[in-house]
């Protein structure tokens, strides 16, 4: 029988931190972290910084799950793309070679965003 290894990653971030980076560094910061589809999605929302923060936390949680599995190559933020599925739940589009699949959950308030990733290998 094949066995599955499970690796977890979690990240929490203050929405204010993302808002400050966007104000201070501007589009250069946004372009370094988020794909154009992610940018369009977040900018379509009433408070884009909340959704940018959720995606930032999601990317870091995916990085943690991969690193905890022993993955040891560098991972850029844009390699990990977060897409909403039809019902709004987040899906991961990973632009690197890996085996298995990753499941993700995001939540946010006005002030904080949190995400958890599960890597099933």
Ligand X SMILES: CC(C)(COP(=O)(O)OP(=O)(O)OC[C@H]1O[C@@H](n2cnc3c(N)ncnc32)[C@H](O)[C@@H]1OP(=O)(O)O)[C@@H](O)C(=O)NCCC(=O)NCCS
Would you give the binding string for ligand X spanning residues 60-99, x where CB under 6 A is met?
Answer: ------------------------x--xxxx---------
Q: Which two tokens stand for residue 49?
A: 């910084």
Place of tokens 């690796």: 7
Q: Could you tell me the sign of the dihedral formed by the alpha carbons of 35, 36, 40, 46, in that order? A: positive
Helix (H, G, I), strand (E, B) or coil at 49: helix
Q: Count the residues of the shown chain that bind ligand X, applying the rule CB under 6 A.
A: 10
**Nearer Cβ to ligand X (5/91):** 91
Near ligand X in 36-55, by CB under 6 A: 51, 54
∠ CA 81-4-87, nearest 5°, is 40
- Return the residue of 21, 39, 108, 117 that touches ligand X, per CB under 6 A: 108
Binding site for ligand X (CB under 6 A): 51, 54, 84, 87-90, 106-108
């Amino acid at each position: 029988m094949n066995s599955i290894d499970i690796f977890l990653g979690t990240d929490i971030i203050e929405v204010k931190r993302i808002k400050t980076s966007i104000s201070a560094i501007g589009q250069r910061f946004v372009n370094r972290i988020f794909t154009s589809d992610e940018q369009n999605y977040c900018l379509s929302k009433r408070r884009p910084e909340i959704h940018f923060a959720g995606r930032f936390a999601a990317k870091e949680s995916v990085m943690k799950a991969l690193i905890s599995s022993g993955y040891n190559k560098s991972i850029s933020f844009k390699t990990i793309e977060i897409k909403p599925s039809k019902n709004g739940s987040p899906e991961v589009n990973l632009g690197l070679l890996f085996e298995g699949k990753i499941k993700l959950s995001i939540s946010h308030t006005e002030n904080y965003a949190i995400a958890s990733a599960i890597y099933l290998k």
